[in-house]
Chain A
Amino acid sequence: MVEMTPKKRALLCFTGNKHKADRISCCDALTTATVEQMLAVKAPFPDAHKDVELAYRLAEAAWTIIGLEGFKLPFDLCIEAEALGCKINWGRIDRHPSVETPAFNDISEFKIPEKIIEKGRFPIKHKVEEKLRREYGDYLPIVNQVTGPFTVAGHIFGIERFLIWTKKKPIEQIKEVLMMIADINVEDSKEALRCGADIICIADPSATSDIISPQFFKEVLVPVYRSISRRLGAPIVLHICGNATAYLPYIPDTEVDAFSVDTQVNIAFAKQILGNRVAVAGGVPTISALLFGTPETVRKAVIDAISQGVDVVMPSCGIPPRTPTANFRALVEATKCMIYV
Chain B
Amino acid sequence: MVTKEEVISKFKEAIINGNEEEAVKWAKESISIGLDAYEMITKYGGEAMEVISKMYEERKIFVPEVLLAANALTSAIEVLRPHIKVEKTKVPAKIVLGVVEGDIHDIGKNLVKIMLSSAGFEVIDLGRDVPLQKFVDVAKEVKADVIGMSALMSTTMPGMKKVIDMLKEAGIRDKVAVIVGGGPVTPEWAQSIGADARPKDASAAVGITKQLVEELRKRRGESW
Contact = CB atoms under 8 A, between A and B. Distances in A.
A310 B18 CA distance: 42
B151 to A, nearest CB: 11
B71 interface: yes
A2 interface: no
Interface string A18-36: 0000000000000000000
B120 interface: no
B63 interface: yes
B102 A287 contact: no
Contacts of A286: 154-155
Tell me the dominant secondary structure on chain B's binding face: loop
B92 interface: no
A164 B104 contact: no
B62 interface: yes
A211 interface: yes
Q: How large is the interface on A (under 10, 10 to 19, 20 to 34, 35 or more residues)?
A: 20 to 34
Nearest to A165: B64
Contacts of B64: 163-164, 166-167, 212
Contact of B102 (A98, A159, A164): A98
B165 to A, nearest CB: 14
A277 interface: no
A321 B155 contact: yes
Interface residues of B, number: 28
A216 B102 contact: no
B103 interface: yes
A246 B71 CA distance: 27
A240 to B, nearest CB: 12
Interface in B52-83: 59, 61-65, 67-68, 71
Contacts of A291: 154, 158
Contacts of B196: none
Interface of B: 18, 59, 61-65, 67-68, 71, 101-107, 110, 129, 153-158, 183-184, 189
Q: Top 9 closest A-B pairs, CB basis?
A: A213-B62, A163-B64, A95-B102, A211-B63, A320-B155, A167-B64, A98-B104, A287-B154, A286-B154
